[in-house]
Amino acid sequence: ETGVTQTPRHLVMGMTNKKSLKCEQHLGHNAMYWYKQSAKKPLELMFVYSLEERVENNSVPSRFSPECPNSSHLFLHLHTLQPEDSALYLCASSQDLDEQFFGPGTRLTVL
Protein backbone atom coordinates (compact mmCIF):
# COMPACT_ATOMS: atom_id res chain seq x y z
CA GLU A 1 0.00 0.00 0.00
CA THR A 2 1.16 3.49 -0.71
CA GLY A 3 0.07 6.95 0.41
CA VAL A 4 -2.57 7.39 3.08
CA THR A 5 -5.23 4.75 3.68
CA GLN A 6 -8.37 4.95 5.76
CA THR A 7 -10.75 2.30 7.04
CA PRO A 8 -13.61 1.86 6.94
CA ARG A 9 -14.62 3.85 3.87
CA HIS A 10 -18.24 3.96 5.00
CA LEU A 11 -19.70 3.67 8.49
CA VAL A 12 -23.25 3.85 9.78
CA MET A 13 -23.68 3.97 13.52
CA GLY A 14 -26.31 4.67 16.12
CA MET A 15 -25.93 7.39 18.69
CA THR A 16 -25.08 4.92 21.45
CA ASN A 17 -22.46 2.98 19.52
CA LYS A 18 -18.69 3.12 19.94
CA LYS A 19 -16.61 2.87 16.79
CA SER A 20 -13.11 3.78 15.63
CA LEU A 21 -11.76 5.20 12.40
CA LYS A 22 -8.30 4.14 11.33
CA CYS A 23 -5.71 5.95 9.27
CA GLU A 24 -2.35 4.67 8.12
CA GLN A 25 0.34 6.53 6.22
CA HIS A 26 3.12 4.83 4.27
CA LEU A 27 5.04 8.00 3.44
CA GLY A 28 7.40 8.22 6.41
CA HIS A 29 5.85 11.51 7.52
CA ASN A 30 6.10 12.89 11.05
CA ALA A 31 2.74 14.67 11.33
CA MET A 32 -0.83 13.39 11.00
CA TYR A 33 -4.17 15.19 10.96
CA TRP A 34 -7.91 14.60 11.26
CA TYR A 35 -10.33 16.82 9.33
CA LYS A 36 -14.11 16.92 9.19
CA GLN A 37 -15.89 17.80 5.97
CA SER A 38 -19.63 18.32 6.27
CA ALA A 39 -22.02 19.48 3.61
CA LYS A 40 -22.49 23.02 4.81
CA LYS A 41 -19.10 23.92 6.28
CA PRO A 42 -15.56 24.25 4.98
CA LEU A 43 -13.05 21.57 5.82
CA GLU A 44 -12.40 21.81 9.55
CA LEU A 45 -9.15 20.79 11.19
CA MET A 46 -9.89 18.63 14.23
CA PHE A 47 -6.59 17.30 15.55
CA VAL A 48 -2.90 17.47 14.73
CA TYR A 49 -0.25 15.05 15.88
CA SER A 50 3.40 15.84 15.43
CA LEU A 51 5.96 13.20 16.36
CA GLU A 52 3.11 11.28 18.01
CA GLU A 53 2.20 14.15 20.32
CA ARG A 54 -1.08 15.99 20.01
CA VAL A 55 -0.28 19.60 19.20
CA GLU A 56 -3.70 20.87 18.21
CA ASN A 57 -7.20 20.16 19.45
CA ASN A 58 -9.46 22.52 17.61
CA SER A 59 -12.35 22.82 20.09
CA VAL A 60 -13.58 19.36 19.23
CA PRO A 61 -16.23 17.76 21.50
CA SER A 62 -14.98 15.05 23.80
CA ARG A 63 -17.12 12.43 22.05
CA PHE A 64 -14.25 12.43 19.50
CA SER A 65 -11.06 10.96 20.94
CA PRO A 66 -7.90 10.71 18.83
CA GLU A 67 -5.05 8.29 19.35
CA CYS A 68 -1.65 8.18 17.68
CA PRO A 69 0.23 5.05 18.80
CA ASN A 70 3.10 5.63 16.35
CA SER A 71 4.01 7.95 13.50
CA SER A 72 2.29 5.76 10.90
CA HIS A 73 -1.08 5.22 12.55
CA LEU A 74 -3.84 7.51 13.68
CA PHE A 75 -7.21 6.59 15.14
CA LEU A 76 -10.36 8.53 15.84
CA HIS A 77 -12.49 6.90 18.53
CA LEU A 78 -16.17 7.79 18.36
CA HIS A 79 -18.60 7.58 21.27
CA THR A 80 -22.23 8.74 21.66
CA LEU A 81 -22.19 10.80 18.49
CA GLN A 82 -24.98 13.07 17.32
CA PRO A 83 -26.64 13.12 13.89
CA GLU A 84 -24.89 16.43 13.13
CA ASP A 85 -21.58 14.55 13.35
CA SER A 86 -22.43 12.83 10.08
CA ALA A 87 -19.71 13.90 7.65
CA LEU A 88 -16.68 12.84 5.66
CA TYR A 89 -13.70 12.39 7.98
CA LEU A 90 -10.39 12.88 6.26
CA CYS A 91 -6.97 11.90 7.50
CA ALA A 92 -3.80 13.53 6.22
CA SER A 93 -0.07 13.37 6.83
CA SER A 94 2.87 15.64 6.14
CA GLN A 95 6.56 15.96 6.74
CA ASP A 96 6.95 19.07 8.87
CA LEU A 97 5.63 22.09 6.94
CA ASP A 98 5.44 20.34 3.60
CA GLU A 99 2.18 19.71 1.81
CA GLN A 100 -0.35 17.37 3.37
CA PHE A 101 -1.36 14.18 1.64
CA PHE A 102 -4.90 13.05 2.23
CA GLY A 103 -6.58 9.69 2.50
CA PRO A 104 -9.84 8.85 0.74
CA GLY A 105 -11.91 9.57 3.84
CA THR A 106 -14.53 7.72 5.88
CA ARG A 107 -18.13 8.65 5.15
CA LEU A 108 -19.83 8.55 8.55
CA THR A 109 -23.59 8.50 9.04
CA VAL A 110 -25.00 8.79 12.55
CA LEU A 111 -28.60 7.66 12.91
Partner 1 sequence: AQKVTQAQTEISVVEKEDVTLDCVYETRDTTYYLFWYKQPPSGELVFLIRRNSFDEQNEISGRYSWNFQKSTSSFNFTITASQVVDSAVYFCALSEHNNAGNMLTFGGGTRLMVKP
Note whether 39 binds partner 1 by CB under 8 A.
no
- List Cβ neighbours of 89 (8 Å cut-off, separation of 6 or more): 6, 21, 34, 35, 36, 37, 76, 105, 106, 108
Note whether 103 binds partner 1 by CB under 8 A.
yes
Candidates 15-23, 61-69, 73-81, 94-102; binding stretch for partner 1 (CB under 8 A): 94-102
Return the ∠ at Cα 20 (arms to 100 and 110), rounded to 5°.
Answer: 100
Q: Which of 38, 50, 71, 86 binds partner 1 (CB under 8 A)?
A: 50
C-beta closer to partner 1: residue 66 or 105:
105
Query: How many of the other CB atoms lie within 10 Å of CB of 39?
Result: 7
Note whether 15 binds partner 1 by CB under 8 A.
no
Note whether 97 binds partner 1 by CB under 8 A.
yes
Note whether 102 binds partner 1 by CB under 8 A.
yes
Q: How far is C-alpha 93 from the chain's CA centre?
A: 11
